[in-house]
Amino acid sequence: MHSKGHHRTSWTCSLEELGARPHLLAVFALVATTLVLTCTDTRSGPVLLADRFDRPDGLISNSRADDPPAASDPVWRVTSGSLFARRQTAWSGPVDSGRSDPGSGTGTGSAVLRIHTRADDFADVEVALRLRIDRLVSTDRTPPQAWDGVHLWLRYRSPQKLYSASVARRDGTVALKKKCPGGPSNGGTYYTLASAPGHRFDRARWVDVGASAVNEGSGVRLRLIQEGRAVLDVVDRGEGCPPLRAAGAIGVRGDNAEMAFDDVTVRAVTP
- List, as one string, the DSSP characters of the chain: -PPTT--EEEEEEEEEEEE--HHHHHHSTT-SEEEEEEEEEEEEEEEEEEE-----SEEEEETTTTSTTS---SSEEEEESEEEEETTEEE--S---S---TTSSS---TTEEEEEES---B-SEEEEEEEEEEEE---SSS---TT-EEEEEEEEEETTEEEEEEEEETTS-EEEEEEEEEEEETTEEEEEEEEES--PPPTTS-EEEEEEEEEETTEEEEEEEETTEEEEEEEES-SSSS---S-BEEEEEEESEEEEEEEEEEEEEE-
For residue 43, the model assigns a pLDDT of 74
Torsion sign, CA atoms 148, 119, 85, 46: positive
pLDDT in tens, 159-193: 999 999 999 999 999 999 999 999 999 999 999 99
CA 120 to each of CA 216, 249, 255: distance values in angstroms, whole numbers, following the listed order: 20, 4, 23
Asked if residue 177 lies in contact with residue 211, where contact means CB atoms within 8 angstroms, the answer is: no
For residue 37, the model assigns a pLDDT of 34
Domain boundaries, the chain: 41-51+119-270
Q: What is the CA radius of gyration of the chain?
A: 20
Nearest Cα residue to 48 out of 114, 164, 118, 127: 127
pLDDT in tens, 26-55: 333 333 322 333 344 457 799 999 999 999
The CATH H-level (homologous superfamily) assignment of domain 41-51+119-270 is Exo-inulinase; domain 1 (2.60.120.560)
For residue 42, the model assigns a pLDDT of 59
Cα separation, 236 vs 177, in Å, equals 9
Residue by residue, pLDDT tens for the chain (271 residues) are: 333 333 333 434 433 333 333 333 333 333 332 233 334 445 779 999 999 999 999 999 999 877 766 788 999 999 999 999 999 999 999 999 998 888 999 999 999 999 999 999 999 999 999 999 999 999 999 999 999 999 999 999 999 999 999 999 999 999 999 999 999 999 999 999 999 999 999 889 999 999 999 999 989 999 999 999 999 999 999 999 999 999 999 999 999 999 999 999 999 998 7
Which residues is 207 bridged to in the sheet? Answer: 131
Burial 42-59 (b: 16+ CB within 10 A, else e): bebbeebeebebebeeeb
Question: Phi, psi (5° rounding) for residue 166?
Answer: -85, 100
Cα 142 to chain centroid distance, Å, stands at 21
Cα separation, 76 vs 114, in Å, equals 10
